[in-house]
Amino acid sequence: MSVTQVPGACPLDCPDGCSWQVTVQDGEAVALRGTPDHPYTRGTLCVKVNQFLEHTRAPDRLLHPLRRIGRKGEGRFERISWDSALGQIARRLTETIERHGGEAIWPYQGTGTLGFLQGLQGRAGSRLWNVLGASRHDMTICSIAGLAGLQYTLGTSTGIDPENLVYSRLILLWGSNPLTTHHHLWKVIQRARRDGAHVVVIDPIRSRTAAQADEHIAPLPGTDAALALGLTHAVLQEGAEDHEYLDTYTVGWEAFRKRVLEFTPRRTAQETGVTEEEIIRLGRRIASSRPTAIRVSQGIQRHAGGGTALRALACLPAVTGDWRRPGGGLLYSTDGYFGGNREALYRDDLLSRPVRSLSMTRLAEGLLETDDPPVEALIVYGANPLASSPDQNRIRQGLAREDLFTVVMDHFQTDTADYADIVLPATMQPEHLDVHDGYGHLYITWNEPAIAPPGECLSTTETFRRLAWAMELTEPALYASDEELASELLDSRHPSLAGITVDTLRDRGWARLSYPKGHVPFANGFPTPSGKLEFLSETAQADGFDAVAGYVPATETHDTQLAQSFPFVLLSVANHFFLNTIFGNKQALRRRAGPPYVVLHPKDAAASGIASGDRVQVANRRGAFEALARIDDVVRPGVAMTTKGHWPKLTDGSGPNATVDERDADMGGGAVFHDNRVRITLLPPRGDDSSEDYG
């Protein structure tokens, strides 16, 4: 009997980027655990991923290529061989290129795995798409508005090391719910708390995390920039601004100060729905707590003013000078710490001429309204847009186009896969090679294949190598092996990789990037054009934004006219038991998640005659979905809460994204999932008990 421990990484789109170990016995994976000696993973995974091995063996897993034999969306398929599948895809892509040029192909990559080889971070497939001249896929679905906003203030979207939070005296979890979405950070926060740190959650919802914090402030959705300016106002009232820091490390202070002075407690309270007392009290606390850390994650920027919000939030630690202290500053993403050679993977030099970009969150528009050329071939991998992208009903229409050729590479027959012409079975993390960083820590991870893929599953890299071969493409870069790709990625002189080689990484499974503990970014200035933190950004102005950081209200949330017909602002947040739509088909986790629900404040419920457990319809002009009502004061009056993650076809055929608009946020073309007004009405009780699945 042979037993080995194979090092790996959780592939999911989660800031914690856990390091894991697969115990393999006689070729079979028998146990999975978080790596015990990894300083961030600390031996634990999470409620979603603990049973990942069962997920790899799920009875509904796709094991063979399939060809559609029913109508689009109907879900009837027959098994075909890889040769036949790749032959058909090669022929269709070649014809498409001949007819319309490469831009008629849309490679639609999602967040299913973040791996540098198989997934998003390395833009898997990029080399092939560049050779074919396919449209560029613009990854707008998750974090881009915030990234763009930070870029103006800081010159980068990279923030502080989360492990530095142990040095913080005050921690603001601003639109961030780590107990659900990245719980390893909570351990760091708990250590800071034991040393006396005070933790405040700023979230319209009393989330799991808010319930565990020292304090909870509930602003109206989309008003965070106003709140940040109002808190800065209170800091100035205390005379707590750091003049030396402002003089040395920032530009545009006078202009920004003028703006801040407009955000009196009174105006801020009107704008945000937070009381003047709360604003002044928290402002004073910030003024007197050195250092203060702000952890802000992605939820907060899914509004019309999302980019502007991050831009304003990053200014606060400059006013107090906290950016220079370990444990002070702001953390949105740590992605920029890893200095691997991403360009070597992308190989954008293989593109023979510039191509257009198509936005991930505008799939319906792309399929229904784009011409010159129209999208004729859609290759979906690591994505489930019919469930996850905005404007579900129009996406369904687009996917149903008879002249559209759709390929879906996935692990399961998702709602999106039901519309595919060809479905290709993909490997899961224990079955392929990959390299990961984390967007919530400073470690990188090696994922060694632990077991053989089941059935005929192929990795993304291998699928694209074989497709290139079927298309008779001669570019050698298309045939690089996984090991070669990993070496090219890590072959970098960037200081973050000092002392890290493929061999050392492969051997141990993980490495801390080469930054000292307590590392303070921007100690010697900021990577902006001025070299300083920019309250006033000429780049922003040149891009058509206000030169000075400020506040942009949400669109639907603040529309009082619209509120007459659609009285609720709907937030569709992370589900504790799913990771986006991954695990939405997993019985054990569905049971724990329960059926789709929508939470209403008791006052709203009373006014609408809705009681807990009632079946309701959540609707606006774009679409509707069904949910069970929960009445709870975790939400503010006028705000309703549901979660992302349920599969439409396993519920009522619909979901929150049926109500979400395709509109862009202010920056980067980000999605506005939470800037969404709906009405909620009682449905007649159903005869059958359709929630029995959920136990």
Ligand X SMILES: Nc1nc2c(c(=O)[nH]1)N[C@H]1C(S)=C(S)[C@@H](COP(=O)(O)OP(=O)(O)OC[C@H]3O[C@@H](n4cnc5c(=O)[nH]c(N)nc54)[C@H](O)[C@@H]3O)O[C@H]1N2
In the chain, the amino acid numbered 142 is C
Q: 6, 7, 8, 14: which one contacts ligand SF4 (CB under 6 A)?
A: 14
Q: 6, 10, 228, 231: which one contacts ligand SF4 (CB under 6 A)?
A: 10
Using the contact rule CB under 5 A, the part of the chain among 141-149, 233-241, 369-377, 484-492 near Mo ion is 141-149
DSSP strand E in 352-460: where?
357-359, 377-381, 405-410, 422-425, 434-436, 443-447
Instruction: Please give the Cα distance from 245 to 243 (Å, whole number).
Output: 5
Q: Is 120 in the site for ligand SF4 (CB under 6 A)?
A: no
Helices (H) and strands (E) in the chain, counts: 25, 27
Identity of the residue, 252 or 390, whose beta carbon is nearer to ligand X in the bound complex: 390
3-state helix vs strand vs coil in the chain, percent to 5? 35, 20, 45
Helix (H), strand (E) at residue 28:
strand 28-34
- Residue 16 binds which entry of ligand X, Mo ion, ligand SF4, none, with Cβ cut-offs from 5 to 8 Å by kind? ligand SF4
Site for Mo ion, residues 633 to 692, rule: CB under 5 A = none
Q: Is 593 in the site for ligand SF4 (CB under 6 A)?
A: no
Q: Is 12 in the site for ligand SF4 (CB under 6 A)?
A: yes
Q: Is 274 in the site for Mo ion (CB under 5 A)?
A: no
Which residues 6+ apart lie within 8 Å of 247 measured at CB? none
Query: Rounded to whole angstroms, what are the CA distances from 88 to 72, 82, 462, 499?
Result: 17, 10, 17, 46
- Residue 657 binds which entry of ligand X, Mo ion, ligand SF4, none, with Cβ cut-offs from 5 to 8 Å by kind? ligand X
The count of chain residues that interact with ligand SF4, using the rule CB under 6 A, is: 12
- Residue 17 binds which entry of Mo ion, ligand X, ligand SF4, none, with Cβ cut-offs from 5 to 8 Å by kind? ligand SF4
DSSP strand E in 609-668: where?
615-619, 624-631, 639-643
The count of chain residues that interact with Mo ion, using the rule CB under 5 A, is: 1
Site for ligand SF4, residues 571 to 590, rule: CB under 6 A = 579
Q: Which residues bind ligand X (CB under 6 A)?
A: 13-14, 48, 110-113, 118, 141-142, 174-177, 180-182, 202-205, 207, 219, 221-222, 224, 297-300, 303, 381-385, 387-388, 409-412, 414, 426, 460, 571-576, 578-582, 644-645, 656-657, 660, 673-674
- Residue 496 binds which entry of Mo ion, ligand SF4, ligand X, none, with Cβ cut-offs from 5 to 8 Å by kind? none
- Closest CB 298 distance from Mo ion, rounded Å: 6
Q: Is 189 in the site for ligand SF4 (CB under 6 A)?
A: no
- Closest CB 437 distance from ligand SF4, rounded Å: 12
Instruction: Please give the Cα distance from 418 to 401 (Å, whole number).
Output: 13
Q: Cis bond leading into 684, ω under 30°?
A: no
Q: Is 610 in the site for ligand SF4 (CB under 6 A)?
A: no
The b/e string for 411-420 (b: 16+ C-beta within 10 A; e otherwise) is bbbbbbbbbb
Q: 7, 17, 222, 638: which one contacts ligand SF4 (CB under 6 A)?
A: 17
Q: 29, 142, 571, 619: which one contacts Mo ion (CB under 5 A)?
A: 142
Identity of the residue, 310 or 351, whose beta carbon is nearer to ligand X in the bound complex: 310
User: Is the CB of residue 182 less than 8 Å from the CB of residue 169?
Assistant: no
User: Is the CB of residue 599 less than 8 Å from the CB of residue 640?
Assistant: yes
- Closest CB 669 distance from ligand SF4, rounded Å: 26
Q: Is 18 in the site for ligand SF4 (CB under 6 A)?
A: yes
Nearest alpha-carbon partner for 410 in 398, 427, 393, 397: 427
Identity of the residue, 184 or 679, whose beta carbon is nearer to ligand SF4 in the bound complex: 184
Which residues 6+ apart lie within 8 Å of 352 measured at CB? 133
How is 135-176 classified by DSSP, letter by letter? PEEE--SSSHHHHHHHHHHHSSSB---GGGGGG-SEEEEES-
- Closest CB 352 distance from ligand X, rounded Å: 27
- Closest CB 208 distance from Mo ion, rounded Å: 18
Q: Is 114 in the site for Mo ion (CB under 5 A)?
A: no
Identity of the residue, 253 or 412, whose beta carbon is nearer to ligand X in the bound complex: 412
Identity of the residue, 130 or 143, whose beta carbon is nearer to ligand X in the bound complex: 143
Sheet bearing 215-217, strands edge to edge:
215-217, 198-202, 170-174, 292-296, 329-331
Using the contact rule CB under 6 A, the part of the chain among 6-14, 352-360, 468-476, 545-553 near ligand SF4 is 6-14
Find the distance separating the first CA and the last CA of the chain, reported in whole Å. 39
How is 42-105 classified by DSSP, letter by letter? TT---TTTTTHHHHHT-TT---S-EEE-S-TTT--EEE--HHHHHHHHHHHHHHHHHHH-GGGE
* Interface positions with Mo ion (CB under 5 A): 142
* Interface positions with ligand SF4 (CB under 6 A): 10, 12, 14, 16-18, 45-46, 48-49, 183, 579
